[in-house]
Amino acid sequence: MNEKNTDVKQLLVKEPLKLDCGLTIKNYPIAYETYGDLNKSKDNAILIFHALSGDQFASGTNPITKREGWWATAVGPDKAIDTNKYFIICANVLGGCMGSYGPNTIEPSTKKPLGTNFPVITINDMVNAQRNLLDFFKIEKLFCVIGGSMGGMQVLQFVSNFPDKTRTAIPIACTASHSAQNIAFNELGRQAIMADTNWKDGKYDTNESLPNKGLSVARMAAHITYLSKKGLQEKFGRKLQERDDLKFGFDADFQIESYLRYQGSIFVDRFDANSYLYITRAMDYFDLIKQYNGNLSKAFEKTLTKFLIISFTSDWLYPTSENREIVIALNSIGADVAFLEIKSDKGHDSFLLNVPDFLNAIKNFLNNSYKNIK
């Protein structure tokens, strides 16, 4: 494995990786970013797994989009995940569009993006690819793996695949098996993209017209699922958008309409439509329960990892009940597990926002756990 110097940090993985679809890849890049310093004993490393729309730039300023890192509320000096104390690694997932091997990777023979020639990947594939970062940094055992939503799925898969490679794990607002409801929402987004005439069966030229209308609608639909009814009502209600009365047309009469349109418009500037298809498909394929023949506890029976599992009261996308199933499975094998349901009206997005009880819980768990290994 070699590090390749580009606008983003990339690890070129030479070792073959057999994907769940049956294909094998090698010489593929994994884009990553680091924060803080790795200490001499190399026992302070935390691997962050990002969610669907995230990337490796968890904190600071994203050098590509020039926007603040997606988890700046939690990651940074003296924050919940303290970069003065811990060495943070965050990678762009396989299938992503921020430098890792994905649909917008240029195929040498055609000098065009792979598009839908890219193989269908899974959460398991993503985790196995990122495992190479431990070897690159010569880290024998991580202090923690942490992530929310799809990131939480990766946490569960990582601990299952590599039971001796992390001391602690914090899966946040996630599930062990993607539900029919969530598959349905993802399919709605995929169909919006594929119905866009600029999608061209995934063979669109990134320098020409892009399927931005479809991707924007996909983002709008998904964004609704990240919020809560109470939060939406309190923030927007039936407030009109810069007008005193209804206009009896199809412009954005309501503030919530304008808000969703804005979310869709800014998303297309930083995300690739084909990556959206592939990553949502990976989420839908995630079923750790099925991987272990219906017995989730078997996924963790070899681990000595200490867990903190967190859910939010207003999260209807990955509700507390689904997080409790993970807790029950861990309890059944006598694992070291703590569970917190955080009160919040911010919905699924709570883990990305300034929710003091949540951030304090992470900080205290990490600090107390780290004291115990010193």
- For residue 3, the model assigns a pLDDT of 40
- For residue 6, the model assigns a pLDDT of 55
- For residue 4, the model assigns a pLDDT of 42
Q: CB of 227 within 8 A of CB of 349?
A: yes
Which residues are tagged catalytic?
Answer: 149, 315, 348
Structure tokens at 226: 């990240």
Looking at 3.40.50.1820, 1.10.357.10, 1.10.1740.110, 3.40.1380.10, the CATH number of the domain 182-280 comes to: 1.10.1740.110
pTM: 0.95
Distances from the Cα of 142 to the Cαs of 33, 112, 161, 165, 265, in angstroms?
16, 37, 14, 6, 38
Dist CA 19 CA 178 (whole Å): 20
- For residue 208, the model assigns a pLDDT of 75
- H-type alpha helices, the chain: 123-130, 132-136, 150-161, 180-195, 212-226, 229-235, 255-267, 273-285, 288-291, 320-332, 356-373
- For residue 11, the model assigns a pLDDT of 97
Dist CA 328 CA 330 (whole Å): 5
- Show the low-confidence residues of the chain (pLDDT under 70): 1-6, 374
Q: Which residues contact 54 (CB under 8 A, 6 or more apart)?
A: 70, 71, 151
CATH code, 2-178+288-373? 3.40.50.1820
Q: Which residues contact 162 (CB under 8 A, 6 or more apart)?
A: 131
Q: Domain residue spans in the chain? A: 2-178+288-373, 182-280
- For residue 250, the model assigns a pLDDT of 87
Structure tokens at 52: 């669907």
Mean pLDDT of all residues belonging to the chain: 95
pLDDT in tens, 43-77: 999 999 999 999 999 999 999 999 999 999 999 99
3-state DSSP call for residue 251? coil
3-state DSSP call for residue 98? coil
